[in-house]
Amino acid sequence: MTRIVFAVLLVASFGMFAWTVRRFARQLFSARPEDRTGNVAARIDSVVRFFFGQKKVVEKTSLPSKRLPRFVTWMGSKYHFIIFWGFLVITIGSVETLIQGLFPSFSLALVLGHTLADWLYTCIDVFCGLVLAIIGFAFFRRIVLQPRLIPMTRDAAAILSAIALLMLSYFGMRFASGTLVSVAWWTHVVILLAFLNYLLYSKHSHIIAALPNIYFRNLGQRGVLPKLNMEADDMAATGVVQGWKDFTWKSLLDGFACTECARCTNFCPAYNTGKPLSPMQVVHDLRDDLRFRMPDRGPLDVLLERFQHGESAADQAAEKDKPLIGGRTTEEVLWACTTCGACQEVCPVFIDQPEKILQMRQNLVLVQEKVPSDLARTFTNLERNGNPWGIGADKRMDWADGMKVPTLDDKPDAEYLLWVGCAGAFDDRIKKQTRALVDVMREGGVDFAVLGLEEGCSGDPARRSGNEMLYQMQAQQNVETMNTKKVKKVVTACPHCLHTIKNEYPQLGGNFEVRHHTQLIRELVASGKITIDGDKLAPAGGGNGGAPGKPAITFHDPCYLGRWNGEYDAPRDVLDALPSGAAGRVELPRNKEHGFCCGAGGGRMWMEEKIGTRVNHNRTDEILATGAETVATACPFCTIMIRDGVQDRNAGDRVQVLNVSELVAKSMKRKREIDGATATTPPSSS
């Protein structure tokens, strides 16, 4: 009789689980298609390293917290590794328990032999103990320490309690006697089967969705927005997202794969400066939009949601009716993003949060026509003058006055097109960087020319602000010009132009070999084509270029050079070739993959920062704390933001903000002066 009851329970539970999986899968595949099947070997490699190896999980989990003890932050990154492996090992014991429900004489020893089975039981005992201890820590963390992003929700309480009961009942089965064993056994199997069916409706859906999400991750270039079809007759056909159905199935799977670890939000510059943006919540909003609008939504969904959120039926209905874009995910949230990519960098299951944010911005701009007024002005500047500064397009070559810089019309066979960018052409501070870059390229004998007045904005500000229509107009025009002039190689002054021209122009028929200027300069230095020496990097106020105990220089990573394009070494190699050397350079605490944004990306350069504190102040404080006399940049926007930060902190006499190209140009000049002085000094008459 017991066996029959158990068999019915087992079949019903697995039947219901299969129904739920099919139900969610059907929704996912009714969304937009996307091919993520190629390169099987690399996908399997990802699963081995990032799913079974938990590579990202054991790395940093969050920025050092002033509020939480260091041990807690450390545990936060490691304990999931133990839970994960504990879960895998314990699952073997759970399978044995379920089989024993049907065939009581079954045991692992029959399959593995007594020695191996005993060893495995010991492993399961140890892991059960560890998992139990970690569940205790998880309760402690949520209830006592209360990290802002990891609250004690009803869902979390249910899941943690269920896991704790599973472990305790396991120990009951192993070590109790008499009827207690039977009680423990039934407790164990009932919780196990209920847990299985609750999974997909809870934060623990990642137990099922994480593996496929890692397998189907983007293996191509990061940060390339899907192209909208702006020639379509109606907005729906352009591909702009309106609700969950317009995202790809992979974007929706992201929501189920989220482990709610909050790493993304912990590293987000907007969140860290008091903006309402939490990239984790953006991912959940999309998942909720799907769950609230499932066509076959029934009483079970309503019941579970009410249990999880404790809302009344009326509240739930209001929540359900909220539109995703501008409703569940508010406009303030969407405009706060700097598109820095810090969130996707740390996500252990490869969720692409910035893409979702940018796709929703496209909806705000193109469908709802809701654009912040300062950004609207920038769009007008771009439309009228071809640059966000709004300066007349006929002034685009003013930066080169007196330099005799050739255009491609003067020099059609030039090896490189130097892409100056709007900042380099129109902003007075950045024009100096462009001139320095030209000096360096000339000294290195680089054969280059510019487009001159035919260069237009690369389109980065428009695309990252959601204005795909304007972006495509600008980018298409540039692609046509460059193709007509048979451009093959491009060197850019700006990482945003680099990313757009290199990675996004191919969508419009523009295929060029594109490099950032620091990559070219590194090559010139390494090959000895330019010689740098002698400059002590003295700050404007007259410093000592790295006094004992004080670093001469630090480097701020631009997000679009580092995270989005993987180049961390080129600027550092060039800086280390300067007289101050590697020993004179100090890393910022948040560097490379975890570098902190300057606050200018994603169109934020042209938007007021009204909420919270300023992102550039946060970064500047970190720079000033190093004591470095020079902060080197490799992006015009970073230069402007950090210079403003330094001025706002009244630290202009302590630290200078210079582009790598300017430091090299200064050093080259100094070298020439030294060489000149040496050549003209008469031999001493001793």
Residues that bind ligand SF4 (CB under 6 A): 258-264, 267-270, 277, 279-280, 283, 337-343, 346-349, 351, 353-354, 357
Phi, psi of 645, deg, nearest 5:
-60, -45
Compute the least distance from the CB of residue 536 to ligand SF4, in Å.
36
Residue 205 Cβ vs ligand SF4, minimum distance, rounded to whole Å: 11
By beta-carbon proximity to ligand SF4, the closer residue of 261 and 642 is 261
Closest to ligand SF4 by CB, 271 vs 399, is 271
Q: For 414-451, give one letter per residue: b (16+ CB within 10 A) or e.
A: bebbbbbbbbbbbbeebbbbbbbbbbbbebbebebbbb
Shortest distance in whole angstroms from residue 598 CB to ligand SF4: 11
Nearer to ligand SF4, 287 or 522 (CB): 287
Closer CB to ligand SF4, residue 349 or residue 482? 349
Alpha carbons 459 and 507: distance in angstroms, whole number: 13
Please say which residue, 277 or 490, places its beta carbon nearer to ligand SF4. Answer: 277
How far is it, in rounded angstroms, from Cα 637 to Cα 126? 53
User: Per-residue DSSP letters for 13-81?
Assistant: HHHHHHHHHHHHHHHHHTSB-------HHHHHHHIIIIIIS-HHHHS--SS--SSS-HHHHHHHHHHHH
Rg (CA), the chain: 29
CB of 482 to ligand SF4, least distance (A): 29
Q: How many alpha carbons fall within 13 Å on the CB side of residue 403?
A: 22
Q: How far is the CB of 108 from ligand SF4 (least distance, A)?
A: 33
278 or 580, CB closer to ligand SF4? 278
Query: How far apart are alpha carbons 192 and 13 in whole angstroms?
Result: 10
Q: Which is nearer to ligand SF4, 277 or 663 (CB)?
A: 277
Provide, rounded to whole angstroms, the least separation between the CB of residue 467 and ligand SF4: 18
Which position has the token pair 């099987």? 40
Cα separation, 598 vs 613, in Å, equals 13
- If the CB atoms of residues 93 and 255 are measured against ligand SF4, the closer one turns out to be 255
Residue (343 or 607) nearer to ligand SF4, CB: 343
Task: Identify how many contiguous H helices and E strands the chain contains and give both numbers.
Answer: 30, 8
470 residue type, one letter: L
Q: Give the nearest distance from C-beta 464 to ligand SF4 in angstroms.
A: 10
Residue with tokens 């704390």: 625
**Least separation, in Å, of the C-beta of 262 and ligand SF4?**
5
Q: Reduce the DSSP state of residue 385 to 3 states and report it.
A: helix
Q: Which is nearer to ligand SF4, 62 or 472 (CB)?
A: 62
Q: Which is nearer to ligand SF4, 556 or 671 (CB)?
A: 556
Complex with ligand SF4: residue 169 or 500, whichever CB lies closer: 500
Task: For Cα atoms 275, 280, 286, give the angle at the middle one, nearest 5 degrees.
Answer: 110
Q: What CA–CA distance (Å, rounded) separates 93 from 86?
A: 11
> Is residue 371 helix, strand or coil?
coil
Give me the phi and psi of 66, to 5 degrees please: -75, -25
Sign of the alpha-carbon torsion through 302, 307, 308, 309: positive
Residue 346 beta carbon to ligand SF4: minimum distance, rounded to whole angstroms: 6
What torsion do the CA atoms of 65, 71, 76, 77 make, to the nearest 10 degrees?
Answer: 100
Smallest gap from residue 343 Cβ to ligand SF4 (A): 3
In angstroms, what is the minimal distance from the CB of 350 to ligand SF4? 8
Is residue 642 within 8 A of residue 630, CB to CB? The reply is: no
Nearer to ligand SF4, 163 or 257 (CB): 257
Phi, psi angle pair for 131, to nearest 5°: -60, -40
Q: Output the six-digit token pair for 172.
A: 């009951």
- Token pair for 674: 């030294």
CA angle 435, 436, 439 (to 5 degrees): 90
- Residue 269 CB, nearest approach to ligand SF4 (Å): 5
The closest of 575, 553, 556, 555 to 628, measured between CA atoms, is 553
**Beta carbon of residue 104, minimum distance to ligand SF4 (angstroms, whole number):** 41
**What span, in angstroms and rounded, lies between the C-alpha atoms of 471 and 333?**
22
Nearer to ligand SF4, 435 or 604 (CB): 604
The DSSP annotation for 316-354 comes to HHHHHHS-TBTTTB-HHHHHH-----HHHHH-TT---HH
